Structure 1
Amino acid sequence: MTKQLANRVFIIGGGAAGITAAIAARRNNAEVTILERNERIGRKILATGNGRCNLTNSNIHVNHYHGQNPKFVYGALNRFDYRQTIDFFEHLGIAHKIEEGGKVFPVSNQASSVLDVLRYELEQIGVKVICEADVCAVKNIKNTFEIVLKDKRKFKADRVILTTGGKSSPNLGSNGSGYILAQSLGHNIIKPFPALVRIQLAEKFLKQIQGVKFDGEAEIIVDNKSLARAGGEILFTQNGISGPPILQLSRTAGEYLQKKKKVWLKVTLITGLTAEQLEQVLINRFQNQPQKTLAFSFVGFINKRLIPVLLKEAGIENINKPAAEVTAGERQRIINILQDWRFEVTGTDSWPASQVTAGGVDVKDINPKTMESKLVPNLYFAGEILDIDGDCGGFNLQWAWSSGYVAGESAAQGD
């Protein structure tokens, strides 16, 4: 006897999580349809990893995830882990390589190749994809869902998976519409805010030093407590600061700004030296050529464009006096700036510049092992729409693959 298709599974949102959910559901014998608001699926995948697609990371751990309950990720990550993700893509044709920090990329270095094989798989296994399908309502009527589009088209579904993403990168299709659908079905939304984004500062001298890069460290300070720290290449911008360490810290900064806290950014320009060692370095520079101006004595030690700003910040009015005339107090203030330069954080860049959304559907109402709603049977969630976000380095895509696969498999099987 021919086995009847288990469920009509409709997936709203054709990003990384939605596509993976569709493949998993179809492989488990469901009749699967993706409804995508844009003219094509997977647009955001093309932008990941600077166009190379940072597939995942070999160092997957809950410490790389954030939200009101980061441990929620264990459910999906344990059912579809890093190794299974690699095998999944190898089967589709994506050979992989591991780079610095455990970052995993396709050998092709092309995000387009990842999307190509995913789309090919959808076609091969018979997933229906409907683009330019802007969902405006999902109604739960007698154990069946009615999905309504803005153009008045309607669909019936046994199971629905919401994978609409967040609000980041709206140019790639994310507009937060999934939150409205989730709320209409009774789910609470943790207020979203941009993450993995540049941090804004108030200092007027930023225009003087925009474009200056340095290898250093940065910390987020709230109530005189260090809450997060990261190191690497840091870049001053016209209205703030950027670079991989800053993007990592922006999530913490945004979270506490949401709480109306005063947030400070501590920047360390010179790392690897104690204050005593740094003082000896400066004494040597000043004594070796005492006739040099104070400002010129720093040439070759820090970026030239930083020198006048840094010395003024240290409270030194005459930056062109002979280095021999620098007092011990002035020297100490310079050291303080080099190793503990404080800036008040005024905000972060907005949604168009952010890589990921923090906040989203409250996970307390989601089963972590199946991604099914605890409030509405046969409704599932996956990916960025949930109040889970990861660090840079492939962690967000791993969450999309894992949560998507688990949601798709669960929706098809009805477990």
Structure 2
Amino acid sequence: MKDNNGKKVKVAVVGGGAAGLTAAIAARHNNAEVIILERLDRVGKKILATGNGRCNLSNTDLDIAHYHGLNPRFAYGALSRFDFYKTMEFFERLGIAWKAEDGGKVFPVSNQASSVLDVMRYELETLGVETRCAAEVKEIVPGSGGFVLRLGDGSRLKADRVIITTGGKAAPNLGSNGSGYLLARELGHSIVEPFPALVQLKLAADFLKQISGIKFIYEAEILVSSKPLACAEGEILFTDYGISGPPILALSRTAGEYLRKGENVILRLNLINYMSREELETFLRRRLKQQSHKTLAFSFVGFINKRLVSVLLKEAGIADIHKPAGQVTVAERNAIINILQDWRIAVAGTNTWQQAQVTAGGVAVRDVDQKNMASKLVPGLFLAGEVLDIDGDCGGYNLQWAWSSGYVAGVCAATS
């Protein structure tokens, strides 16, 4: 688009991640002059780390229930305008063949995140988008003639429109250091306090070193005031600080949210979720009878990971775990069943930003127009991606938010 003087609108994209690259391509496709300002030495570093290096592009189920924030329905604006099908068409045009896997997760057929970044960078170069790396934006100053951006090296840059796509605070080594919050705050925007999401949980327990490295297919649940708030199932890994694995990452957002509120958060584990309580009771009664000549602890070898046995029995309150299995009382057997299917451990916190995959919180969306990602406070300013108070579940939802919000912001910045 051209301004009233017949000149192309100049759009400055602050941040060269998933949202920023998409915004730049979309703006250039709409005839704007575009420059990307990236703080690191190259763009798209976080894209390379997504999906364990495979790039989980999206998910076939983009129900709004998979998104979170103070107003998660805000995400519907961009997600409906640049939906799953339009996103896949976008990447197909760039050269990405895609496939859907379990849980609706979408990946490039190449199984390489680098291929996604490669085709995006190729498109940017072909379109003539200027990419300036090692260019940290320190200040954005709006004025009657557009914006002046002050960079870390003291230089200044003018632009008609600015799109902030700096990400959040997760994985700072890949470029997200929270700088976008400072820029947005200086322009009058409010910030919902960020906290790590899709991250491992720390547990308040003294037995973790004993069981570090043990993996199981568990059912996990987050409880607050004995009320279940979120649950997930899959492979879970005990660590020396707490617990990890896909189900834990899925639950971490809920845990972090309530920990911030000062609530006591409990992780509930069901280690034997393939049996009902009655079936487990029958199984244990028969097993303990058959193994009556063995010690209680040894009687579980072959049923429970042997490194976990002593911990579970002590957690069940069994004073003498080496007593004969045949001497276990009904009360003790019930206590063991409770631990196996309803083991509750206090959550002490989450791991740090360095280990987090995404940021919860960010720029409050009440001051952003969901139809075009434009600031309601500063004309010509747009925001997209993780910098906003929108985060998604694990499984491609966060990248889809980046693509959708970035695309909408780029189109509207170029044409408004």
Superposition TM-score, scaled by structure 2 size: 0.98
Which of the numbers 95, 102, 105 marks the counterpart of 1:103? Answer: 105
**Deviations 1:127-168 (CA, angstroms, capped at 9, x unpaired):** 111111111000011151110001111111111000000011
| C-alpha deviation, 1:6, in angstroms | 4.1
Partner residue, 1:277: 279
Partner residue, 1:351: 353
Partner residue, 1:306: 308
**Matches for 1:13-412 after TM superposition, within 5 Å:** 13-412=15-414
Q: Secondary structure at the match of 1:305?
A: helix
Aligned equivalents of 2:249 and 2:325: distance in 1?
Answer: 37
8 Å Cα contact 1:5-1:31 kept in structure 2: no
Aligned equivalents of 1:62 and 1:334: distance in 2?
Answer: 40
Aligned residues: 413
**Deviations 1:310-367 (CA, angstroms, capped at 9, x unpaired):** 0011111211222111110000000100111111111100100100000000001111
Report the CA distance shift for 1:60/1:5 in structure 2 as closer, same or farther (over 3 A). farther
| C-alpha deviation, 1:298, in angstroms | 1.2
8 Å Cα contact 1:5-1:30 kept in structure 2: no
8 Å Cα contact 1:263-1:345 kept in structure 2: yes
| Percentage identity across paired residues of the two chains | 64
Supply the RMSD in Å over aligned alpha carbons: 1.1
Aligned equivalents of 2:163 and 2:225: distance in 1?
Answer: 41
Counterpart AA for 1:164: T
| C-alpha deviation, 1:288, in angstroms | 2.1
Unaligned 5+ runs, structure 1: none
8 Å Cα contact 1:265-1:344 kept in structure 2: yes
Counterpart AA for 2:239: T
| C-alpha deviation, 1:287, in angstroms | 1.7
8 Å Cα contact 1:69-1:363 kept in structure 2: yes
Q: Secondary structure at the match of 1:101?
A: helix
Deviates more, 1:295-304 or 1:248-257: 295-304
Aligned equivalents of 2:113 and 2:142: distance in 1?
Answer: 37
Aligned equivalents of 1:335 and 1:289: distance in 2?
Answer: 17
Q: Secondary structure at the match of 2:147?
A: strand
**Deviations 1:194-246 (CA, angstroms, capped at 9, x unpaired):** 11110001211100000011001111111121111111011111010110000
**Deviations 1:237-274 (CA, angstroms, capped at 9, x unpaired):** 10101100000111111111111111111111110322
Aligned equivalents of 1:205 and 1:195: distance in 2?
Answer: 25
| C-alpha deviation, 1:304, in angstroms | 1.1
8 Å Cα contact 1:48-1:111 kept in structure 2: yes
8 Å Cα contact 1:6-1:413 kept in structure 2: no
